[in-house]
Amino acid sequence: MPLIEKIFNPLSSFHHKRIYMYLKNLDIDKVIDIGAHKGEFLEKMLKIEKVKSFYAFEPQKDIFDSLNKKFSRNNKITLLNYAADKEITNKKLQINKLSTTSSLAEVNENSLYLKLKNFLTGSKSNFINEYDVKTNTIDNVFKDINLEKTLLKIDVEGYEMNVINGSKMKLKEISYVVIENQFGNHYKNNNFDDIKDLLLKYNFVISKKFIFPTMHYQDVLFKKN
C-alpha cells in the first residue's frame, strides 16, 4: 500500500462516517455505489439496517477482487465489475498508483493537484497502467428495478457527468444523489455547475455538503424536491 494511502485512509474513514451519520436518518431502502473501490463507503452504509439492497460498481480488476472477497457472501449486495457510463461499450480505464483516483476521464496535464499527487506517490506520470473495461448505464442496469427511496452515490474522478447522462430515466425515481465535487480543474470537460444544473432540472436541490478533511474536494448531497 502506498504511503499516501496510509495517510488518506483514516481521513477517508472519518469523512465517510460523517456522511453515514447524516444519511442514516434519511428514508432510503436501496444504495447504488458508483466507484465503490474497496467498499469504504459501502461498509459504513451497511450499518443502516433499513436499507434492503446495495449495488456496488467497481471496474478496477484487482480492486474488484478485494471487494468481492470482502462482500460476496452478503446477499444484500450485488457487485458489478464494470464502470457506469452514458453508453454500453468498452473503454480504457487509466490506473493511478493511488487506486482511488483511477479514472476514465481525460486529465488536465497542467493541474497542480495532479502534479502534487504524482510527487507524493513517486509517480512520473498520472497513470501507471491502462486496460479495457466494460461500461454500462444506470438506466439499463436498473431498467426493471424500481429506484424510489434510492441513494445514488457517484465517485468517479471527473467522469460524473457521463454517469448522470446514463441515468436520466432513473433520476425520475431516485430520491438522493451524493456526488463528488473536486476543487480545481483536474479533469477536462468536467464542470460541477453543469452537473448541478442538470440535477436541478430533475427537481433535485442541494441538501448538504461534506468537505473532506484536506479540503481538496467535497461530497454534495442532492435531495429530490
Q: Which residues of the chain have pLDDT under 50?
A: none
State the pLDDT at residue 122: 81
State the pLDDT at residue 152: 98
Report the alpha-carbon distance of residue 186 to residue 31 in Å, rounded.
28
The answer to whether domain 3-224 has CATH 3.40.50.150 is yes
Report the alpha-carbon distance of residue 156 to residue 189 in Å, rounded.
14
DSSP code for 107: B
At 9, the amino acid letter reads N
User: Cell match 493537484: residue?
Assistant: 113
State the pLDDT at residue 3: 64
Over residues 39-51, the pLDDT tens digits come to: 999 999 999 999 9
Asked if 43 and 77 touch (Cβ cutoff 8 Å), the reply is no
Domain positions in the chain: 3-224
State the pLDDT at residue 4: 66
Secondary structure class of 131 (helix, strand, coil):
strand
State the pLDDT at residue 105: 94
Over residues 135-184, the pLDDT tens digits come to: 999 999 999 999 999 999 999 999 999 999 999 999 999 999 999 999 88
User: Cell match 507524493: residue?
Assistant: 120
Taking alpha carbons only, the member of 146, 150, 153, 101 closest to residue 128 is 101
DSSP string, 164-224: HHT-TTGGGT--EEEEEEESS--BTT--HHHHHHHHHHTTEEEEEEEE-TTSSEEEEEEEE
